[in-house]
């Protein structure tokens, strides 16, 4: 058996395989590696259900998250809901003022699908909902802040879920109808759109593990069917923009990837880590960014073999027709990346039978020395950020990348030094990826501007650089120490080493 490297040495050696440059503390702290490139876009991100509130006013329809929190409060920490959340539906001007005060140049937000289409279909377009996002966008632009609009951040209309949601192949048409309305309404004001936030999280948490809305537990089947239809839906929306709106508005439509770094614990497990990468990253990226399209071959082979061994008549991984392979391939103008943490990969098995986890034939582990956060899944591993950025660039032709979420949780403090440490160290690794490895990263959006409803964890975990007092009916906002740190960083155009 090969010698086992210490974690730090292992990661550095793995990075060295990508780059011939010197890697070390002296390189990280060089002035040229601490300054943001010219025209680099710095912004903050939020999501509609997590901050807006106003869940049943102004003509909004019921979303899958509305249904889950109201009918199954036992599935949410403390029975919390997003009914009021940070009250941003009414306090968006205050939020924009905070963005301007801190110096952010862009704001990534999502549109609530049932706020626009309360019936799920374009037979009824909610004028008040449409106007709300016009008002938000106009407020941003009046303050010199560029909007980045996400069409879907996990809150689709419940009526569509009643018809199968992301397990129904008609979702591609339903999402396309919704996307057309969004492009038509906001295309003249918004130049960067993202279709669907974190497909893997949507499908695994919502249709396999059942911990997020709609709360379905269909492991080994649901996650694959869901991703299949999410990819079709993304491509449908992209082609609609391409054929109907691009020539007029000259904007861009990107695809968003939620990804950890999947690093071999040592070089003995290189093949296992590559399999993990293909199952977790290639699953959604290979159909879009590879020359041949379709799912990665290792996925098709392993899921097919396991399905047969389990007695299925055909693979649990759905099959794309040539039509869909061609429609999905090259359906992105940029790659949006949400990254928080990393895993080490070894040979073995994990997960129930059947499941996406078990199909991989690998096991993910964490190092006991990694710093923890308030979220049990989120370990602080800055080196992993550079590792996955380089891997993405090398595997997918170095597309333009925007980091659309990156941040860390705590249980609520204004003196959030751990958050500042996280941002500083992760930003340093991102800048090394730009300057030393040539990764085409064009912007960075922290998660999150505000403390918000953190899905099944309710309000127990806080990611914001702005504290929200949930005991206050007015939802008072208070800048944390990290907000002041960001204001200094943006003003200086660089990060400090201490």
Instruction: For the chain, list the domains and their CATH numbers.
Output: 7-492 (3.20.20.80)
Q: What is the DSSP letter of 212?
A: S
pLDDT tens across 289-314, in order? 999 999 999 999 999 999 999 999 99
H helices of 252-399, in order, are 270-277, 283-289, 297-309, 322-328, 356-359, 382-395
Q: pTM value?
A: 0.95
Half-sphere exposure of 24 (CA within 13 A, CB side): 3
Half-sphere exposure of 231 (CA within 13 A, CB side): 30
* Rounded alpha-carbon distances, angstroms, from residue 344 to 178, 272, 367, 426: 39, 10, 8, 18
- In angstroms, rounded to a whole number, what is the distance separating the alpha carbons of residues 419 and 413? 10
Q: Omega into 214 within 30° of 0, i.e. cis?
A: yes
Query: How wide is the angle at C-alpha 56 spanned by C-alphas 55 and 59, nearest 5°?
Result: 120
pLDDT tens across 169-201, in order? 999 999 999 999 999 999 999 999 999 999 999
The pLDDT of residue 82 is above 80: yes
**Residue 364 falls in the annotated catalytic set:** no
* Rounded alpha-carbon distances, angstroms, from residue 206 to 161, 212, 214, 447: 11, 5, 5, 21
Handedness of CA 218, 229, 67, 89 (dihedral sign): positive
- Min mean pLDDT across 17-26, 56-65, 83-92, 229-238 is at 17-26
Answer whether 150's CB lies under 8 Å from 236's CB: no
pLDDT tens across 230-287, in order? 999 999 999 999 999 999 999 999 999 999 999 999 999 999 999 999 999 999 999 9
Please tell me which residue in 405, 425, 436, 457 is annotated as part of the active site: 405
pLDDT tens across 398-437, in order? 999 999 999 999 999 999 999 999 999 999 999 999 999 9
Answer whether 224's CB lies under 8 Å from 318's CB: yes
Nearest Cα to Cα of residue 139 among 191, 84, 189: 189
């Amino acid at each position: 058996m090969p010698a086992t490297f210490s974690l730090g040495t292992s990661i550095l050696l793995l990075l060295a395989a990508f780059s011939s440059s010197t890697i070390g503390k002296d390189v990280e702290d060089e002035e040229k590696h601490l300054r943001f490139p010219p025209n680099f876009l710095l912004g903050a991100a939020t999501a509609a259900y997590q901050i807006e509130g106003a869940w049943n006013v102004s003509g909004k329809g019921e979303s899958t998250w509305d249904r889950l929190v109201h009918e199954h409060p036992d599935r949410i920490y403390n029975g919390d809901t997003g009914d009021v959340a940070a009250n941003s539906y009414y306090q968006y001007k205050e939020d924009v003022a905070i963005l301007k005060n801190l110096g952010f140049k862009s704001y990534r937000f999502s549109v609530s699908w049932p706020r626009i289409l309360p019936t799920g279909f374009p037979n009824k377009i909610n004028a008040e909902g449409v106007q709300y996002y016009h008002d938000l966008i106009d407020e941003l632009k009046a303050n010199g802040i560029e909007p980045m609009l996400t069409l879907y951040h996990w809150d689709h209309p419940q009526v569509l879920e009643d018809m199968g949601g992301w397990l129904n192949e008609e979702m591609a048409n339903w999402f396309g109808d919704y996307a057309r309305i969004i492009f038509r309404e906001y295309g003249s004001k918004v130049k960067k759109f993202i279709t669907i936030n974190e497909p893997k999280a949507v499908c695994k948490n919502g249709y396999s593990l059942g911990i997020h809305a709609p709360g379905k537990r269909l492991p080994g089947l649901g996650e694959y069917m869901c991703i299949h239809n999410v990819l079709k839906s993304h491509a449908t929306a992209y082609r609609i923009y391409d054929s109907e709106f691009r020539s007029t508005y000259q904007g861009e439509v990107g695809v968003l990837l939620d990804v950890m770094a999947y690093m071999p614990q040592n070089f003995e497990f290189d093949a296992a880590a590559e399999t993990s990468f293909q199952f977790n990253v290639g699953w959604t990226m290979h159909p879009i960014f590879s020359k041949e399209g379709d799912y990665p071959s290792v996925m098709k082979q392993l899921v097919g073999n396991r399905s047969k061994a389990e007695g299925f008549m055909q693979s649990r991984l759905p099959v794309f027709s040539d039509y869909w392979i061609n429609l999905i391939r090259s359906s992105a103008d940029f790659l949006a990346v949400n990254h928080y943490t990393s895993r080490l990969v070894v040979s073995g098995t994990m997960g129930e039978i059947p499941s996406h986890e078990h199909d991989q034939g690998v096991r993910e582990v964490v190092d006991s020395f990694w710093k923890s956060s308030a979220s049990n899944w989120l370990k602080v591993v800055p080196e992993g950020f550079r590792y996955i950025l380089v891997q993405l660039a090398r595997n997918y032709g170095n597309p333009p990348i925007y980091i659309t979420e990156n941040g860390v949780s705590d249980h609520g403090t204004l003196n959030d030094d751990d958050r500042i440490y996280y941002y500083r160290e992760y930003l340093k690794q991102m800048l090394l990826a730009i300057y030393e490895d040539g990764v085409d990263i064009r912007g960075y959006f922290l998660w999150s501007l505000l403390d918000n409803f953190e899905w099944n964890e309710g309000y127990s975990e806080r990611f914001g650089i702005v504290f929200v007092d949930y005991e206050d009916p007015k939802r008072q906002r208070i800048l944390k120490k990290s907000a002041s740190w960001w204001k200094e960083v943006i003003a200086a155009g660089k990060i400090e080493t201490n």
